[in-house]
A and B are shown apart, each in its own frame.
Chain A
Amino acid sequence: GDSVTQMEGPVTLSEEAFLTINCTYTATGYPSLFWYVQYPGEGLQLLLKATKADDKGSNKGFEATYRKETTSFHLEKGSVQVSDSAVYFCALKKAGQKLVFGTGTRLLVSP
């Protein structure tokens, strides 16, 4: 079945460092891809999405590009802040099917 693989965490960075969280997927057809973020004690919030190959999703300084040739959707941010500390989930969804999540990557940003 369809699946998403994320890099294991935690990812520990200093403020203003560059962030990459790797995400690859296995799916038939043409899924949409998402990054969700979960702050402590909260539910999940959509961070960004891309619905077709070569689309770039972006929000709050985060970016990810849908790469069909490498089946990847890596999350990047040029300069992280302490407030970005959270768990990040990569996910895919096809029409008529459930949202499939990766295992999540915890990001810890220190001042």
Chain B
Amino acid sequence: KAGVTQTPRYLIKTRGQQVTLSCSPISGHRSVSWYQQTPGQGLQFLFEYFSETQRNKGNFPGRFSGRQFSNSRSEMNVSTLELGDSALYLCASSFLQGQPGELFFGEGSRLTVL
């Protein structure tokens, strides 16, 4: 079956703009998590959604937001972009929320902020 699909794969924005990233989980998976990966900070947890509800949230400012739709697809939005938001944003899906099981990752959306 198809894996986790993230779009767009690459994008370039300028400071102050906003961006929306999309994630389609594996069919049947209802939990979607988002991570930010940077060389300096490594993998940082952003948030997790299950059944359209945010279940966990990391320590990111309110400029970072997300949502999940009834078909389990998820979007994350970053407003008022800063240079430090340049990163690889990874989405991961799993069948159940809260279980210590495997997460399946997409290839990521690489955001560059100029």
Residues of A within 8 A of B (CB): 31-32, 34, 36, 41-46, 49, 51, 89, 93-104
Contacts and interface: CB of A to CB of B under 8 A. Distances in A.
B99 interface: yes
Interface in B50-101: 56, 58, 90, 92, 98-101
A102 B37 CA distance: 12
B58 A51 contact: no
Contacts of B6: 43
Contact of B90 (A44, A93, A104): A44
A67 to B, nearest CB: 18
Given A98-B48, A104-B42, A46 B103 contact: yes
A98 B97 CA distance: 10
Contacts of A100: 45
B43 interface: yes
B42 A101 contact: yes
B99 A43 contact: no
Closest 3 CB pairs of A and B: A32-B100, A43-B105, A96-B98
Given A42-B107, A44-B90, A101 B43 contact: yes
A95 B56 contact: no
Nearest to B42: A103
Contacts of A98: 33, 45, 48, 56, 58
A41 B100 CA distance: 26
B25 interface: no
Contacts of A96: 98
Contacts of A101: 42-43
A51 B100 contact: yes
29 contacts: A32-B100, A36-B105, A41-B107, A42-B107, A43-B4, A43-B6, A43-B106, A43-B108, A44-B92, A44-B103, A46-B102, A46-B103, A49-B102, A51-B100, A93-B100, A95-B98, A98-B33, A98-B45, A98-B48, A98-B56, A98-B58, A99-B33, A99-B45, A99-B92, A99-B103, A100-B45, A101-B42, A101-B43, A104-B43
